[in-house]
Chain A
Amino acid sequence: MKTFKGYKRANGTFGVRNHVIVINTVGELAGVANKLADLVPGVVPVIQQGGTSQFPEDAMQTIRTIKGTVGHPNVYAAVILGMGEDDFAEQIAVELREEQCKVEAIVINKNTSIDKIFTDGKTWLNQSYEDSLKVERVDVPITELTIGLECGGSDAWSGITANPAIGVCSDLIVDDGATSILAETTEAIGAEHILARRAVNEQIAKDFLTIVKNYENRILDTGEDIRSANPTPGNMAGGLTTLEEKSLGCIKKGGYAPLQQVLKYAEKPETKGFVFMDTPGYDVESVAGLAAGGSQIVLFSTGKGSPTGSPIVPVIKVGTNPKLYEIMSEHIDVNAGTIVEGKKTLQDVGEEIYNLVMEVADGEKTKAEQHRNQEFAIWRLAQSI
């Protein structure tokens, strides 16, 4: 069995990173959370702008995402910063401590002043960071690896080079007995019947068709029709002929493996193999959902060149064309543009991505990590109240 060098957690999960983080439950605490994280070098701020004045569905989604982020196997320890009487920081901390996670909840204007937050928080974080450095990597079976699949800033080459090459890597990972999660429900509109046909049973097919329909209906409610707007005139000039073709290019990140399960945003898979998560096309929110659902590494194809990363998971960028690699190589980890140049095949680049996944799992830093690109946002389904 193939292995990677990961961090074993008390609850039986395995991380590829060993972060100590500070996360805020509500957007009002973004600044305080940033300052607290800054007090201890090495501590990662996970900052989001939502959390209050939400519809119940969004409140649940926010809680699920924060819990998944704090309890993530890449996280060694976390401070959750909350505010007010109804804050959920303490509740999440209690639940995660039951799962053997190292979590401290600090709630402003309930039990402590800002001064005390910085003093207590710094002490706890200092100690946790020091402890985190003592944890050593151990051999972990590859079946414990979960990879998220994402694209951002697509171009005419995405569906020809980077996406199908990521698909080759996804199939290799699934063949190893590990898990790969395809995301971005909006990008499947028009090819949902094709992906549904890969479902292992009727219920999974139904689950998938339902999330696509629900998403499309929410978009229609705003007055926009994604089906008749696609492919765009720009897409057509680039060679895309039909909506099916455009969406096929996107879902090819998921290779050819059977679809085992359909997940809610930020939900954890109950099965190994290829699964789908309901997320928006917006990369930052989608990557945060993939991570909160347990992906330890995210593969990210880009044609226009997005620098975005994640505070808790390494994001591997796969560039779609040679020109992008020339001008943005500091952000691109794998150049799938070699396929356009006729130098490499899809299989070659797929294997290159797979090998890099194993190196990154062992500790090799991605370009986004080197630049400390740590974007984080939680998907909102409704408007703020």
Chain B
Amino acid sequence: MNNAIKLHPSDNVVVALTTLEPGEQIVIEEIGLLQEVTEKIPYGHKVCVEVIRQDEKILKYGECMGIATNDIQVGQHVHVHNVRGLKESERVVSVADYA
């Protein structure tokens, strides 16, 4: 039975469907992902599944939802203590960028 969900194939985080205890394995049957969480992950929260370096993008839904404020290892909790939102200058640059 799945205990986490990956919302897009390119995501570097998955969402815990139950509260995961340290040492517990992430189970997502359809992609066969099996990794251990290294700290407690409350249900609904994100856990890192690929090493994310400081200043790299956090990808959820295949989109950038924030920037890592320090290195994040596989199995670690990804939340407000190690992620920041985008600054205005990092978001809309100009309309031409979207075409």
Which residues on A are within 8 Å of B, measured CB to CB? 156-157, 160, 164, 190-194, 196-197, 199, 201-202, 205-206, 209, 236, 238-239, 241-245, 248-249, 252, 256, 339-343, 345-346
Partner of A243, one of B46, B85, B95: B85
Question: Closest Cβ of chain B: how far from A326's Cβ, in Å?
Answer: 17
Q: B44 contacts A241, CB within 8 Å?
A: no
Give B66-81 interface residues, CB cut-off 8 Å to A. Answer: 66, 78-80
Residue of B nearest to A240 (CB): B44
Partner of B45, one of A194, A206, A239: A239
21 A-B Cβ contacts within 8 A?
Answer: A156-B44, A157-B44, A160-B44, A164-B7, A164-B61, A196-B92, A199-B98, A205-B95, A209-B95, A238-B44, A239-B15, A239-B42, A239-B43, A241-B66, A242-B83, A244-B85, A248-B63, A252-B61, A342-B2, A342-B3, A346-B7
Q: A241-B83, A342-B1, A342-B2 are in contact. Are A201 and B99 (CB under 8 A)?
A: yes
Give B12-71 interface residues, CB cut-off 8 Å to A. Answer: 15, 17, 27, 30, 42-46, 58, 60-66
Contacts of B63 in A (CB 8 A): 191, 194, 244, 248
Contacts of A241 in B (CB 8 A): 46, 58, 65-66, 78-80, 83, 85
Contacts of A160 in B (CB 8 A): 5, 7, 15, 44
Q: A194-B63, A242-B84 known; 16 other A-B pairs, CB under 8 Å?
A: A156-B44, A160-B5, A196-B92, A197-B97, A199-B98, A205-B95, A241-B58, A241-B66, A242-B65, A242-B86, A244-B63, A245-B66, A339-B17, A340-B43, A342-B3, A342-B17
Contacts of A202 in B (CB 8 A): 95-96, 98-99
Contacts of A249 in B (CB 8 A): 61
Residue of A nearest to B46 (CB): A239
A345 to B30 Cα, complex, angstroms: 8
A274 to B84 Cα, complex, angstroms: 31
Most chain A CB atoms below 10 A, which of B17, B44, B64, B92:
B44
Contacts of A209 in B (CB 8 A): 92, 95
Residue of A nearest to B65 (CB): A245
A193 to B92 Cα, complex, angstroms: 6
Contacts of A201 in B (CB 8 A): 99
Contacts of A248 in B (CB 8 A): 60-61, 63, 65
Which 10 pairs, one residue from A and one from B, show the smallest C-beta to C-beta distance? A205-B98, A342-B2, A202-B99, A242-B85, A239-B44, A245-B65, A239-B45, A342-B1, A242-B66, A156-B44
A191 to B44 Cα, complex, angstroms: 20
Contacts of A346 in B (CB 8 A): 5, 7
A249 to B8 Cα, complex, angstroms: 12
A305 to B44 Cα, complex, angstroms: 19
Question: Closest Cβ of chain B: how far from A230's Cβ, in Å?
Answer: 10
Contacts of A199 in B (CB 8 A): 98-99
Question: Closest Cβ of chain A: how far from B60's Cβ, in Å?
Answer: 6
Contacts of B1 in A (CB 8 A): 341-343
Question: Closest Cβ of chain B: how far from A149's Cβ, in Å?
Answer: 15
Q: A197 contacts B80, CB within 8 Å?
A: no
A339 to B97 Cα, complex, angstroms: 36
Contacts of A190 in B (CB 8 A): 85
Q: A245 contacts B30, CB within 8 Å?
A: no
A206 to B92 Cα, complex, angstroms: 11
A241 to B79 Cα, complex, angstroms: 5
Q: A339 contacts B44, CB within 8 Å?
A: no
Q: A205-B98, A206-B95, A242-B66 are in contact. Are A339 and B5 (CB under 8 A)?
A: yes
Residue of B nearest to A242 (CB): B85
Partner of A236, one of B5, B80, B86: B80
Partner of A244, one of B30, B64, B92: B64
Contacts of B2 in A (CB 8 A): 342, 345
Most chain B CB atoms below 10 A, which of A236, A248, A342:
A342
Q: A339-B17, A342-B1 are in contact. Are A196 and B98 (CB under 8 A)?
A: yes
A156 to B86 Cα, complex, angstroms: 21
Contacts of A156 in B (CB 8 A): 44
Q: B60 contacts A245, CB within 8 Å?
A: yes
A205 to B92 Cα, complex, angstroms: 11
Contacts of A206 in B (CB 8 A): 95
Question: Closest Cβ of chain A: how far from B9's Cβ, in Å?
Answer: 11
Contacts of B58 in A (CB 8 A): 241
A210 to B86 Cα, complex, angstroms: 20
Contacts of A252 in B (CB 8 A): 7, 61
